[in-house]
Structure 1
Amino acid sequence: MSQPKSLGLVALIAVPALFLGPIMTMFLLLTPAAPAVADCGPAVSVVIDGNTQVEGYTQEQLKNAAAVMGAGKVLGLSVKGQMISVMVALGESGLRVLDYGDGAGPDSRGVFQQRDNGAWGSYADRMDPSISATNFIKALQGVAGWELLEPTLAASKVQRNADPYHYQKYWPEAVKIVQALSNSQFSVEGSGCAIPGQSGAGDDYPWKNSPTWVQVGAGAASTSPLGMYYRECVDFALWRVNQQMGSTSAPFKFLNATFRPDGQVLGSALTWKAGWDAKGWPTGNTPRVGAVVWYAPGTGGADPNFGHVAVVKAVNTDGTYVEEGYNGKPAPDDHNYYTRTVSSKVPSSFLYLPSQEEKK
């Protein structure tokens, strides 16, 4: 892991940045960034008849899924919300109207296993797929920022599971069912409904062939639309943040000059943890796919003055994770894409997107 020269140019980049910082800040502040909210597509209509088939599911289950989707359509729920609703129904009842509960909730009933506590209507309401779905969806829509949460976390805000990741394994099947029963094709990836950790495929950085500041000097020619220098660790990491939050083209939602709410630039790797804290975004010590990896100065071979940032590409079961980024190798390969396997104990912190919460 220790590569004394691998991150050396992080220090070099800071010198010209001292001169360009005020100029770039003034320029970028003139271009307002879009607010950091999801722009999910509209709900899809349900198309189902006696011939509709989805492998692994009965007609009863598909009719219940259609009822859940239909309730979402009536309430103007986004397609992502429809998938979350079907995911919860899968996780709670297997898309069946159950007339019994379990040890944790013996009075739970219906597709969503809603409790007899007055919050979910009468017994008949809880046993009706459309009405129970309507009540679940209204509760989901009442969760602030739910569309920016991972699906399982959004669901858990309503269902209040002991394990907030209980529904995670049902998400792929929910996507498959909603796609099969809908009247249109859609893609979650790259949209405003993008799910953190599922965007990006290798070196898809859009400015991989752009000139670095070393090649053309520190100026507009070497500055990306994000306000960082091309092919630096910070520019790649900020690209991944935008991409995972559904912003893949200009105007980007998150810029160097406007990321922080206190008027300061996000800046070099040195100040990224402070930027996350200023924005109120979560941080922690557990690697999660899509999180930004933050190395304090001198940590894990990072530059002794300015540190380094990268992105978690995959998490292994042996206490390591796969890291991806730019400017993490010695010259002459320093301003190119790299991956490497790192012990989870090495980085100073992991910086999560607002849709990621460290599992308690």
Structure 2
Amino acid sequence: MTRNALLATATVAAAAVVVFALHGMDKPFGSPSCQATANGVTFEYTPEQMGNAATIAGIAMQRALPARAATIALATARQESKFINVDYGDRDSLGLFQQRPSQGWGTRSQVTDPVYATNAFYDVLIKIDGYRSMEITKVAQKVQRSAFPEAYADHEPEGRVLASALSGNSKAALTCRLDPKSTAGGAAAVTPYLAALKREQVAVGSTRLTGTVPGVRLDTKDTTQAWSLAQWSVARADQLGVERVYVDGKVWDRAKPDQGWVASSEGGAGVVVTFAPGKPSG
């Protein structure tokens, strides 16, 4: 091997060490990114990817499916689309799960709607006898009919971490560092947020905040459910214009991207989501 080749190899190896070290950190860093951590393992994604993963996990919660269902769906979507709602694929494959209209999954418009596509995936999954205990390569293949079924197993650890964080079983486990130039949605973001919540999450009571800061309070006394709603809100913050999320004595603040979840005496009961700078009231 030449001297230049040796130097190039050393450079690549050093870069790999840096990436590995970064993935073990507990706070967001660098360019816009989101990360989820569970059992000491961290995976990092773009805000777009994390937002789509939150939709997949949230719908599993909404449908009262077991954590295994969310893990399978997340691992499958990670393999099929990298959590990007793509409008292209092999032959007529489209969307998060690369579902084919010609195979009866729905119209082009339907399979590129993350909520429709996710529900369609679960509709087939729950009909598979024994899916809760079946190897992910076998169950995902039964749903997807993929040419590369073994690839799904590669992403099972990611599916487990994301499912744990987005179900609220791992608390303060998901955070996002958004573009500092981006701004929250303001009062106009409240209605779209509530509409997305209704499509993607377990039904809870909600109250619009009064005062100068637009926001909503989500009513739940269950700590696990509260963290599920809170971390879904952070995962979807880039798409839904969320500024701050308060839960269980902690806050995630869009304007302070390097802090992650920190202690806060504000917010109060349930989950409070605001869409502009300022302290919540009402």
Give TM-score, length-normalised by structure 1. Answer: 0.35
Greater strand proportion: 2
Larger radius of gyration: 1
Greater helix proportion: 2
Give TM-score, length-normalised by structure 2. Answer: 0.45
